[in-house]
Amino acid sequence: MGMTTCMKTVEVTRTKIAADGLGKPPGTVEIFLQILRKEGIRGVKKGVNAVALRQVTGWASRIGISRFAEETIRSMRGRGKDEKLGFGDKILASTIGGALSCWNQPFECDGRLPTCGPCAAAGTSCVMSDRLVVRPGDAQCECDDLRARLATAERRCSDLLQENQRLQVQIMEAFQSPGPVAHEPRTPMLSAVAKEAGHSTAGSGAQPQHIPLDGTTNLARQSCERILRPTFANRPGMQKVNRSTLSGAWELWGDDTSVEVPLSSAVEIGHETYVSLAETFFDRRWPYLPVLHRPTFWEQHLNPFLAHPEARSISRFFVKIVCAIAATERSCQLLSNDDMHRKLFKDAVKDLELITEAGDLEYIQCLLLLSMYGHNEPQSVNMWYTTGMALHLAIGMDLHRKESLMGQDVLQAEMMKRIFWCAYVMQCSMAINMGRPLMIEDSDITIALPLQRTDQQLSDQMAGIDELTIPSVTDMSTFNHIIALRQINAGVYKQFHPRGGVGANRSDLDQLRNQYNFELNQWLITAPRYVHSLSTFQSTEWFQIAFHHAMLSLYRPSRAIPIPLPDDLRICLESAIGLISSYSALYARNRIKYTFVAIHSLLMAAVTMLYSLRASASLRQELTKPVVQTNIQTFLTLFRGICNGREVGEKCSQIVERLGNSILTLYDDTGRADAEVDTEFQSWFGLQTHTPAQTDEAQSHTISPHFPDVRVDLPWADLFTEGINMASTDVWSIFS
């Protein structure tokens, strides 16, 4: 027993030496001899006695616990103190005593961290991994952090509750009041909440969501989502309804999708480029739509943005959208890639809902700038919704009344007039090109046209200065002339292209047509001339294009006069050729850029020219086949050149080629008639033909003795007999 205890002491000593990392511990006999040399018999006895005492204590505690367990078992079994336990009960009591005895053994800690073998061999301290070591933290410090987070969460919850209550009140007032809904400024906090909730901008085909009465849906964001939808979107089931009341633009852009630019594509351009793009905007696009005051834009938006890129949201938007519009006018060599205008636009509308923080006039300016960009990218901005909202907001501010200018200084009054007339021009242009109603009658407008002054004169507050007599590229001469043209366009559109019934008779319509013809010629004669201008809208060719486009709208087949006279067809042919000549002159100087209005007007001119040749044999005799082929090729060159690879350019080219080939065949076979081509011609004018079978009885009762008229080709004879049936056939099905 003593020898065993002595060996136990030696083994404990060897284990401690190994744990200290002092190398390989000596053998058992060598350890015993070392203890004997250092401490003698007393050291051996000390270790032996310590081990022996520990073992005796352990056995004593085990026996005591076992005895206690046996008494507990006897009491549970209901047996007496002298009665022997069974074999199983004895094993259970012994097991309990041994287990509790082991659990009660003390553990010694020397306070040293263990060291691995490589660190011990290198003689360096061993650093334990944090994931293997549990270190007690500062409980008080953790509590402070939790308290701070709790306080932040409570404040956020309070802010959300206030926003929720405010939106509930706003929505209830909107549903109860008959007037327009006032746009509440969207706070950055609410924008962050919407993003965390997973709200994203709706896609081109998304449908408007229902606005619940609990106020959780933000009205400003819903409005912005509608702004960024395509202008020409094919709604579900549209092919099944009569589309004759829509313009041909839906056939060109209805299935077109805007080019998607990744949001991660950051716009990195220098200050000089921002300034250069802003100069381009005011030189080239501003004369057509002077929605901004140049010195004010520089002082309040561009300069603060360049000094502090994180300026207020309205300044960031103005600068980005102005540069995006200007980028569509610049060559791609300056801007490194063709998608620069799309990237700038994406960057501008990133926080579009924040522009509601601006005042009413600034908000209208934002909408008009979005519409200007939409002229180049119609599938990126809902032009009808945006221009309509701008005009309605302007009318809601009574900007169409001269009384709204009372008490305003020169600058404020002139900007109010400019903003209203910009909204009028944009909405009138969109209504005519989309085949939709005009939103305001000219008789309801009492506000005067803007004064023919420059922006610098307005900044100097020159109230007594006379208007400029010589047109300048920086004054309102171009814009005022465009307003006069839009008023004529609106009159022609209402009188000759109504979607409802036409009340006037043919003689009254002829008188109106002569009056509008005179006004258009006067407009062209009085068009301003400029010595040098960078803007296409101030060129002589552009005024010629606008004139010929208006003449085509006046004399082409319409709902009021579906069958034009031979003289009308001649005017249509001459205007179409004049329009193509002016476009060719601008294209030769690289002064014409892609806009959906330009492409649509160019296509309608081509269709009208081919229609005139199809309907009039005398016009075909005047123009030889090679001349017609040259005109068709010129149209195709313009379509493909201006569209610059866009799908809509190829689509227009295919339409003109198909219709042109049908006209060229008439030079070889004058008796050949193609009813499908005739129907397609009428469909582009928003008309539908119905050609029932002719019977002898019908011919004897309905046909004039002078029929057929030698002035009109036989393929159009059914139009004189049956007229135009506007609801019998879906002519748009020929494109499906």
Q: Residue 674 class from Cβ within 10 Å (0-12 exposed, 13-18 middle, 19+ buried)?
A: middle
Looking at residue 224, its pLDDT comes to 80
Q: Residue 68 class from Cβ within 10 Å (0-12 exposed, 13-18 middle, 19+ buried)?
A: middle
**Domain range enclosing 95:** 2-107
600 within some domain: yes
506 within some domain: no
In this structure, are residues 380 and 413 in contact, taking their beta carbons and an 8 Å threshold? Answer: no
- C-alpha closest to that of 399 among 454, 360, 366: 360
For helices 360-376 and 340-348, give the axis angle rounded to 10 degrees.
Answer: 150
Residue at a domain's end among 227, 261, 283 = 227
DSSP-assigned letters across all residues of 19-51: HTT-SSPP-HHHHHHHHHHHHHHHHHHHHHHHH
95 shares its domain with 192: no
103 shares its domain with 167: no
Q: Residue 309 class from Cβ within 10 Å (0-12 exposed, 13-18 middle, 19+ buried)?
A: exposed
595 shares its domain with 679: yes
pLDDT in tens, 106-157: 555 556 667 777 777 777 777 666 555 555 555 556 787 788 888 889 888 8
Range from 34-38, 296-300, 678-682, 689-693 carrying the lowest mean pLDDT = 689-693
**Cα-Cα end-to-end distance for the chain:** 107
Query: What DSSP designation does 301 have?
Result: I
159 within some domain: yes
The tokens for 591 are 């002064």
In this structure, are residues 31 and 14 in contact, taking their beta carbons and an 8 Å threshold? Answer: yes
32 shares its domain with 103: yes
734 shares its domain with 627: yes
Range from 111-120, 274-283, 321-330, 557-566 carrying the lowest mean pLDDT = 111-120
Looking at residue 179, its pLDDT comes to 42
41 within some domain: yes
pTM of the model: 0.65
Residue at a domain's end among 107, 136, 164 = 107
93 within some domain: yes
Q: How confident is the model at residue 392 (pLDDT cuts 50, 70, 90)?
A: very high
The pLDDT mean for the chain works out to 77
Check residues 411 and 218 and name the one with the higher pLDDT.
411
pLDDT at 571 over 90: yes
In this structure, are residues 360 and 397 in contact, taking their beta carbons and an 8 Å threshold? Answer: yes
593 shares its domain with 702: yes
Selection from 432-436, 444-448, 614-618, 647-651 with the highest mean pLDDT: 444-448
Query: What DSSP designation does 285 have?
Result: I
Q: Residue 263 class from Cβ within 10 Å (0-12 exposed, 13-18 middle, 19+ buried)?
A: exposed
Query: What DSSP designation does 448 have?
Result: P
627 shares its domain with 719: yes
pLDDT at 667 over 60: yes
Looking at residue 606, its pLDDT comes to 94
In this structure, are residues 555 and 564 in contact, taking their beta carbons and an 8 Å threshold? Answer: yes
Q: Residue 557 class from Cβ within 10 Å (0-12 exposed, 13-18 middle, 19+ buried)?
A: buried
49 within some domain: yes
Range from 216-220, 512-516, 622-626 carrying the lowest mean pLDDT = 216-220
101 shares its domain with 163: no
Report how many domains make up the chain: 3
Helix/strand/coil for 81? coil
173 within some domain: yes
pLDDT in tens, 515-541: 999 999 999 999 999 988 999 999 999
The tokens for 224 are 């912005």
67 shares its domain with 185: no
Helix/strand/coil for 654? helix
In this structure, are residues 484 and 522 in contact, taking their beta carbons and an 8 Å threshold? Answer: no
730 shares its domain with 597: yes
60 shares its domain with 189: no
Share of the chain above pLDDT 90, in %: 35
Cα-to-chain-centroid distance, residue 181: 23
Range from 26-40, 183-197, 215-229, 373-387 carrying the lowest mean pLDDT = 183-197
101 shares its domain with 186: no
Looking at residue 145, its pLDDT comes to 79
- C-alpha closest to that of 352 among 320, 388, 323: 320
Contacts of 93 by beta carbon, 8 Å cutoff, 6+ apart = 66, 67, 69, 70, 73, 85
697 within some domain: yes
In this structure, are residues 560 and 496 in contact, taking their beta carbons and an 8 Å threshold? Answer: yes
